Amino acid sequence: MIEKSLKELGQSLASKEISAVELATLYLDRIERLNPEINAFVTVDRQKTLAMAAEADARLAAGTAGPLTGIPVAQKDIFCAEGWRTTCGSKMLADFVAPYDATVIDKLHRQAGMVSLGKTNMDEFAMGSSNENSYFGAVKNPWDTSRVPGGSSGGSAAAVAARMAPIATGTDTGGSIRQPAGLCNLTGLKPTYGVVSRYGMIAYASSLDQGGPMGVSAEDCALLLNAMAGFDERDSTSLDRPREDYARDLDLPLAGLKIGLPKEFFGEGCDAKVMAAVQAAIDEYRKLGATTVEISLPNTHLAIPAYYVIAPAEASSNLSRYDGVRYGYRAPEYGNLDDMYMKTRAQGFGEEVKRRILIGAYVLSHGYYDAYYLQAQRIRRLIANDFVEAFKQCDVILGPTSPTTAFRISEKSADPVQMYLSDIYTISLNLAGLPGMSVPCGFADGLPVGLQLIGNYFGEARLLNVAHRYQQVTGWHRQLPAGIA
């Protein structure tokens, strides 16, 4: 059962080979067995899950089921889900029970009839690349439990990698879907900014945040994106566009596809074994009829500096709401109101979150705004323009997702800049608002390597097609970590 695609699971449910309650139970049992070691889930509620599964069975029996009805899903704990504890990986929200559903949750639960298996661990407020910044402890990579799964959607990635869930939701502000997908041998898609509603998705850096699917295959991701995407009047940045079937182009042949290889992604700084796996993928694409062209994204080296001004600036504003007054943690003892704010925020936030709030407040402050914030916005425009130029020469851009495979727990946690550098290939497309994917493309010393595909605006269906055709001839994505089955 755990090796079936979402489509096959749908067929098993439709033909009554298995009920939604039985399927949910199978996954809940796997979570019970594997999660104590992996720490991918921070909240599991058997009763709630089984009640949702029973509702799905009723829909299946009544003939009102959709393609995903009864299929289990793990939810990144950044999405508010009514009645579920929603922590965002923070002590600040460790006891917060959401009073409403995020649009993504509403779409998956109520509209699609999917069955939530629980909420997954993540870096606090989605700030991190290793999941070590979670108040609920590090997540272990199922491929090697001495290593990180990546972040910030590390719990979602580890959950699917260990097949504690067939698919999961994630969010990507600067790589948080693609990087953990790459390090855990999953397929992940960060959609064009505005395609998936951010309503009820706890805000980190609002001009960059975007939700998306993390699963085994491109086909599975296409099906989940179909259910997640769509205009939402409650999110002012949601785009009002006609509905799309993201699975429509999966099988199109790749003959004539023009792949751009940015020279900045193939220079030094990337591990040689990672590069070898990416080169082998390029050969595979040539066999599928694609041609390659060298392109340049000349401002790539400025992406991390610009991101680490813009994202903290937005975070410092977004996180001002955690003041101990309206909801979330409040320091147990304090003097006056100011003291309450200070103690609450000092105790409720972790190190990395405080670092970002400090940086953000600094770059926005009078006297530094022009030198940092405004300058970063200008760089953001240059980076976006690089992609506009690049897409005049190619249909998709290809490169590695990350410069290395999964690193060891604690290896980079003492050096924030080293940690930030692991996002060198993923961050620039967030600044531009473009869609991107990570696709399994082999292994280096037994650890998964992710191939990154970047599309033009609204090129999700094309990206999924490019990933799907590759997955049909390779099968890397089907490999499971030892001891998982």
| Binding stretches for ligand GLN (CB under 6 A) | 126-129, 152, 172-176, 204, 311, 423
Q: Is 287 a catalytic residue?
A: no
User: CB of 168 within 8 A of CB of 159?
Assistant: yes
C-beta of 184 vs 281, nearer to ligand GLN: 184
Residue whose CB is less far from ligand GLN, 204 or 265:
204
Query: Exposed, middle or buried: residue 71 (CB in 10 Å: 0-12, 13-18, 19+)?
Result: buried
Closest CA relative to residue 440, chosen from 178, 132, 168, 86: 178
Q: Cβ 89 to ligand GLN, closest distance in Å?
A: 11
- Min separation Cβ 298 and ligand GLN, Å: 22
Q: Which one, 175 or 360, has the nearer CB to ligand GLN? A: 175
Closer residue to ligand GLN in complex, CB, 175/459: 175
Respond yes or no: is residue 152 known to be catalytic: yes
Q: From the CB of 433, what's the least distance to ligand GLN, in Å?
A: 14
> Least CB distance from residue 462 to ligand GLN, whole Å?
23
Q: How far apart are CA 215 and CA 187, in angstroms?
A: 5
State the Cα angle at 356 between 354 and 357, rounded to 5°.
Answer: 65
Q: Which of 116, 130, 152, 316 is catalytic?
A: 152
Select which of 12, 76, 217, 412 is catalytic: 76
Q: What is the DSSP letter of 300?
A: G
First to last CA, the chain: 10
The catalytic residue among 12, 90, 176, 422 is 176
Min dist CB 392 to ligand GLN, Å, is 28
Of the pair 179, 344, the CB lying nearest ligand GLN is at 179
Radius of gyration, alpha carbons of the chain: 21
The total of other beta-carbon atoms located within 10 Å of residue 145's CB is: 16
The DSSP H or E segment spanning 398 is: strand 396-400
176 catalytic residue (yes or no): yes
Contact (CB, 8 A) for 438 and 170 = no
Residue 246: CB minimum distance to ligand GLN, A: 21
How many CA within 13 A on the CB side of residue 213?
Answer: 26
Distance in angstroms (rounded) separating the CA atoms of residues 316 and 304: 18
* Interacting residues of 155 by C-beta distance below 8 A, sequence separation 6+: 39, 40, 41, 42, 74, 76, 77, 120, 121, 122, 131, 134, 139, 149
Which DSSP letter does residue 439 get? E
Residue from 208, 41, 199, 206 nearest 122 by CA: 41
In contact, 150 and 157? CB cutoff 8 Å? yes
Task: Please identify, using beta-carbon distances, which residue of 174 and 230 lies nearer to ligand GLN.
Answer: 174
Smallest distance, Å, CB 122 to ligand GLN? Answer: 8
Q: Give 23 or 311: the residue with its C-beta nearer to ligand GLN.
A: 311
Closest residue to ligand GLN, judged by C-beta, is 176
**Min CB(207)–ligand GLN separation in Å:** 13
Strands 396-400 and 258-262: parallel
Our measurement of the distance from residue 382's CA atom to the centroid of its chain's CA atoms, rounded to an integer in Å, reads 25
Beta bridge partners of 141: 144
Known catalytic residues?
A: 76, 152, 176
